[in-house]
A and B are shown apart, each in its own frame.
Chain A
Amino acid sequence: MQEKEFSHYIQNYPFKEVQQRIYYLNEEKNHTQKTIERIIEKTYQDEHIRWDEFLYLLTKPALDYIEELAQIAQRITRKRFGKTVLLYAPLYLSNECKSICTYCGFRYDNPIKRKTLTVEEAIQEAMILHSQGIRHILLLTGEDYRNTPISYIGEVAEKLQRHFSSIGIEIYPLKQNEYEYLRTKGVDSLTIYQETYDPERYREVHLQGVKRRMEFRLNCPDRAGKAGLRRIGIGALLGLSDPQTEVAMVGLHAQYLQKRYWKTQITVSLPRLRPAENIKNVPLISDSLYALFFIALRIFLPDVSLILSTRESPRFRDNMIPICITQISAGSKTEPGGYSGYDTTEQFHISDTRSVADIVNMLKQKDLDPVFTDWVYVMK
């Protein structure tokens, strides 16, 4: 019988049990490595790997095979995506927020410079991105249903529709009919990160606001899928709970969405926690393990578009992109009005501050084609 939504489906995979399983695989090096070799053989036969096999690729013993796994991931990426990388840019409409999330610079109780762009200011910001060649744009807000209502998001999207091939949103969770409404205004994709799939940690880091409702957020991609959005992006903020288990859950979620909403393209991002306003003590996830996560996801889900955040350094991005990354943002600002030079507070600190033109040059040097348009407004 089909589960109703992801929150029901995930009950068969309790976070703590998956974590224990991964802990065991980390410890049992011999067993794990033998199995990894079998999994590698499978990929040479062009066979898909199962989720329980994917877990092996997230473990510390898998690090001994990272080069070979990277070669496999690159081969799969070339085959499914070619030598192309899709470019997009975020547009922060607002940093007003009614939620308190311990890891975020926009949290309600942070005394920061707040701003919500007027529709005109938003268009002005967007046209700066447009002049740089950007045609896929992502509209972001905090968790503030009142100051940034969906009528406002809809109005901005509608005005931008003529100029941009694709308009995505990364805002507070909505109901299905609200996604349907935004679709009529030209929105075609949704990004919504669960932040953490660990229910215990979820409660600890979300202290106030609608975001506290874990299940409502977890089923958000389902509602967007039912509303017929063309792309749905999910992810976890690595550093809140056990990163290996988080990635295991993101993989599970992505696979579920692919099967259930089979007309929708799924994208995955795995941002690492970065310092932001009043955020200290960021846990360390080694570059090697972090790289392994993307490589493993690519092997497990050949068709999922993988995104690598501007939170990462240019050097790390430049080396990862040719392996398995298919979508990146460029020239990003994470504060409302940032492109026009307003002085407001950013959500997190950008590490890769290169311009769109610089990113394009870098991709060309890597023999990759920067794609600005991969959508048509008539296909909303």
Chain B
Amino acid sequence: MIEDQFQRDPKPLKIANRTFKSRLFVGTGKFSSTKSMRDAIELSCTEMVTVALRRIDLTKPMEEEDIIASLDLTKIQLLPNTSGARDAEEAVRLARIAREMGGGNWIKLEVTPDPYYLLPDGKETLKATEILVKEGFVVLPYIQADPILAKQLQEAGAATVMPLGSPIGSNQGIRTKESIKIIIEQAEVPVVIDAGLGLPSHVAEAFEMGADAVLVNTAIAISVHSGYSAFSFALATLAGREAYLNGIYGNTNARTLELSYESNTWKKASASSPLTGFLDEENR
């Protein structure tokens, strides 16, 4: 049903030599189980899934890996990522190993020297992109919302640019809006907003702004029902894209919304299922 809606798009998304109906890309980290990850992938209707190479045993063929084995690769483009790489050299080595182990030649380039905010290092990302493009990789680099860097990456042959909305896993939405607008205005390759999208409304906003695709991981993975949550992001993808195509501009100043995890534990601790009940009896 929802796949049919994706079909309506008059300008399907094209990256390198592949066409995508769905503009929602999904990450595979932080899920509680392979099952909840599978639910999310299925209900999101995504056609592009990114997998962290550091989470994979790279000494054996990739199709033997749980995460990969559970993906229908006839429908889904596998996008290995280099998260954890601290410089161009490490990222390039990871990409090569991924290709050798059967991960294909698409690579989401993440060069993140600081392990906390995981912010991308533009200089090293550009260097790695130049090398990998020459070696025949389809490179999707994760970057700061830096319009000049986006241009340089396009010149170096990147297949897309993936500016961040806000730091990975922060769920803060699009805090780099003005810069991303410039990137969208100037880009000659698809612009994928990646990182920090915590609510369906953030995703809708990304498409209203004219983004070509979004990548969501944490918000789906840590929600109570990953599957339904992924579905809500798919709906938001459709809504935002339709709005953009049909010129609904409105006032898209994002309001920051209070996230409410797990039935409002935000507000006050709920007495019904206390986390620390086990401490009532001291038994040492």
Interface residues of A (CB under 8 A from B): 44, 66-68, 70-71, 74-75, 78-84, 135, 162-163, 165, 258, 262-265, 284, 286-288, 291, 303, 315-316, 319, 322-323, 364, 367-369, 371-379
CA distance A288 to B282 in the complex (A): 8
Q: Is the CB of B86 within 8 A of A165?
A: no
Q: Which residues of B contact A319 (CB under 8 A)?
A: 275-276, 278-279
| Distance (whole angstroms) from the CB of A166 to the closest CB of chain B | 9
Contact in complex: B114, A262 (CB < 8 Å): yes
A44 contacts B266, C-beta separation under 8 Å: yes
Return the contact of A67 from the options B94, B222, B269 (Cβ within 8 A): B269
CB distance from B193 to the nearest CB of A (A): 19
Decide if B78 is an interface residue (CB 8 Å cutoff). Answer: no
Among A66, A71, A303, A322, residue most surrounded by chain B Cβ atoms (within 10 Å)? A71
Chain A nearest Cβ from B281, distance in angstroms: 9
CB-defined contacts of A165 to chain B, threshold 8 Å: 54, 57
**Contact flag A82-B84 (CB < 8 Å), given A265-B115, A287-B282, A303-B115:** no
- Can you show 13 pairs from A to B with CB atoms below 8 A apart? A75-B261, A79-B218, A82-B31, A82-B32, A83-B32, A165-B54, A263-B115, A288-B276, A303-B116, A364-B33, A374-B55, A375-B54, A379-B94
Q: Which residues of B contact A374 (CB under 8 A)?
A: 54-55
What residues of B have a CB within 8 angstroms of the CB of A377 in the complex? 58
- Give chain A nearest CB distance to B166 CB in angstroms: 11
Give B268's nearest chain A residue, CB to CB.
A68
Q: How far is the CB of A225 from chain B (nearest CB, A)?
A: 12
B58 near A264 with CB under 8 A, answer: no
**Is A82 in contact with B54, judged by CB distance below 8 angstroms?**
no
Contact (Cβ within 8 A) A78 B84? no
Whether A78 and B261, one on each chain, are in contact in the complex, defined by CB atoms closer than 8 angstroms, is yes
A-B contact count (CB 8 A): 122
Is B255 close to A, CB under 8 A? no
Please indicate the chain B residues that have their CB under 8 angstroms from the CB of A81 in the complex.
30
Interface size on B, residues (CB 8 A): 45
Chain A contacts for B269, CB-based, 8 A: 67-68, 70-71
Q: B29 near A: Cβ within 8 Å? A: yes
Known: A288-B279, A368-B32. A258 touches B116 (CB 8 A): yes
Q: Is the CB of A71 within 8 A of B275?
A: yes
Which B residues touch A67, using CB under 8 A?
Answer: 269, 274-276
Which of B58, B116, B222 has a CB less than 8 Å from the CB of A82?
B222
Q: Is the CB of A84 within 8 A of B30?
A: yes
Known A-B contacts A75-B265, A75-B266; A82 and B115 likewise in contact (beta carbons under 8 Å):
no
Q: Is B45 an interface residue (CB 8 A)?
A: no
Shortest beta-carbon distance from A195 to chain B in Å: 21
A303 to B32, CA, bound (A): 19
Q: Please tell me if B11 contacts chain A, counting CB pairs below 8 Å.
A: no
Please, how many angstroms separate the alpha-carbon atoms of A303 and B168 in the complex?
12
Specify the chain A residue showing the minimal Cβ separation from B98.
Answer: A376
B171 to chain A: which residues have CB within 8 Å?
79
Additional A-B contacts beyond A83-B30, A286-B284, A378-B94 (13; CB < 8 A)? A44-B266, A67-B274, A68-B269, A71-B275, A82-B29, A82-B30, A165-B54, A262-B116, A265-B115, A287-B282, A288-B282, A319-B278, A376-B53
Bound CA span A75–B171, Å:
12
Indicate whether A376 sits within 8 Å of B84 (C-beta atoms), given known contacts A135-B57, A303-B115.
yes
Q: Give 8 nearest A-B pairs by CB, closest first.
A: A82-B30, A83-B32, A319-B278, A70-B275, A68-B269, A303-B116, A367-B32, A378-B93
A contact residues around B278 at 8 Å (CB): 315-316, 319
**A264–B93 Cα gap in the complex (Å)?**
20
- In the complex, whether B43 has a CB less than 8 A from a CB of chain A is no
Instruction: Quote the shortest CB–CB distance from A50 to chain B (angstroms).
Output: 17
| A372 contact set on B, CB distance < 8 A | 57
- Set A66, A71, A258, A264: member contacting B265, Cβ < 8 A: A71
Bound CA span A166–B274, Å? 36
Which residues from 105 to 155 on chain B have a C-beta closer than 8 Å to any C-beta of chain A? 113-116
Q: Which residues of A contact B261 (CB under 8 A)?
A: 75, 78
Determine the distance from Cα of A372 to Cα of B53 in the docked complex, in whole angstroms.
13
CA A291 – CA B278 in complex, angstroms? 11
In angstroms, Cα B276 to Cα A286, docked, is 13
